[in-house]
Amino acid sequence: MASESEGLTATGYIQHHLQNMTYGKLPQGYERHNADGSVTVLDSSTWTLAHSAQEAKDMGFSAVHVDTMAWSILLGSLFCFLFWRVSKKATAGVPTGVQSFVELIVDFVNNTVSDIFHHKNSMIAPMGLTIFCWVFLMNLMDLVPVDWLPSAAMWATNDSHFFFKVVPTTDPNATLGMAITVFLLMIFYSITQKGLFGFIKELTCHPFFAPKKYWFFNIILVPINTILETVSLIAKPISLGLRLFGNMYAGEMIFILIALLFSVGLVMGIVGGVLQWAWAVFHILVITLQAFIFMVLTTVYMAMAYDDHSEDH
């Protein structure tokens, strides 16, 4: 346990596990507080890894969560490579082994998307498959014991305060980044299908619109519609990203709290082992469900982008 080997308090242990490996720029004259209590003043602006949560905060918007980026790209590449290898070696007849598993996932996603999205777009099903598998793999990292990979990273770098988070979906930058991409696709397809005028009309003339003989009421209704539809539109990516982040962050927090029991004593360590196993079994359902929900909501939003409400007015 990192908390035992380095003498961390329970609070310090939790904060260490929840801090991302952050790379960013610190300004000239910045005072860096070292682990031994000394202070280093930077002679010039420096791009470096943050040594504390405060340094990560001070790096500002330009900072990058290296661990989130690395694990996201690695797991995405793993998914692409696995499915590419299966497609290259696919055989006719009754599939076996990995091919059977991949075909099961593909059929499941394809059927789910077909039930939700009733328009013609050959990109939606592959996008749904990518989202489901990618988010599932990122969520799956939560089942790796919380100390294994961070401890290995600290050993490899010989830095006892090296930050290393391995679950990308516990970082709101990752989940909101995916959600914003979905949002931009939704706007793009909405304008593509309805035209810019049709998109603006949907924002201003829905859900309330007066009949032609009472057209003057629209002077009041159009601003109300615009506010309601804009709030509803912006809420979609925010809720999509925060839902995934919140559930995975809570799951990771529970694993960390259970891990603290191992440092209390033998009896509590046994209790912690049982709780960890039980929560891991339940968490398999959580990580799968969250990946499924993200895929389904993405498909629903794409379908909404294609739906035309102009016939209502």
Count other Cβ atoms within 10 Å, centred on residue 245: 20
Q: What is the model's pLDDT at position 214?
A: 63
**Which residues, 6+ apart, have CB-to-CB distance to 50 below 8 Å?**
21, 22, 23, 24, 56, 59, 63, 163
Domain residue ranges of the chain, discontinuous segments joined by +: 2-22+65-312
Instruction: Look up 100 and say whether it is catalytic.
Output: no
**Contact between residue 239 and residue 246 where contact means Cβ atoms under 8 Å apart:** no
Question: Measured in Å, how far apart are the chain's first and last C-alpha atoms?
Answer: 64
Give the tens place of pLDDT for each residue, 33-90: 877 778 999 999 999 999 889 999 999 998 999 999 999 999 999 999 999 999 888 8
Quick one: 134 exposed, middle or buried, by C-beta within 10 A (0-12, 13-18, 19+)? buried
The active-site residue, picked from 5, 100, 239, 310, is 239
Mean pLDDT of the chain: 90
Query: So what's the pLDDT on residue 4?
Result: 43
In this predicted model, what pLDDT tens digit does every residue of 107-152 receive, in sequence order? 999 999 999 999 999 999 999 999 999 999 999 999 999 999 998 9
Percent of the chain with pLDDT over 90: 69
- 239 assigned to active site: yes
Give the tens place of pLDDT for each residue, 239-271.
999 999 999 999 999 999 999 998 888 899 899
Residues paired with residue 41 on neighbouring β-strands, in sequence order: 31
Q: Annotated catalytic, 243?
A: yes
Catalytic residue among 72, 139, 218, 247: 247
How many residues does the structure list for the chain?
313
Which of 121, 160, 173, 243 does the annotation list as catalytic?
243
Percent of the chain with pLDDT over 70: 94
Confidence of residue 2 (pLDDT cuts 50, 70, 90): very low
Report the distance separating Cα 87 and Cα 237, nearest Å. 33
Count of helices and strands (H, E) across the chain? 10, 5
d(CA 31, CA 92): 65
Please name which of 197, 189, 71, 195 lies closest in space to residue 139, comparing C-alpha atoms: 71
* Residues 279 and 173: beta-carbon distance below 8 Å: no
pLDDT (0 to 100) of residue 179: 97
What are the CB-based long-range contacts (under 8 Å, 24+) for 299-304?
A: 299/112, 299/113, 299/116, 299/117, 299/124, 299/128, 300/116, 301/182, 301/183, 301/186, 301/236, 301/240, 302/117, 302/121, 302/124, 302/127, 302/185, 302/186, 302/189, 303/116, 303/117, 303/118, 303/119, 304/186
| Mean pLDDT for the stretch of residues 292-298 | 98
Query: Bridge partners of 65?
Result: 22
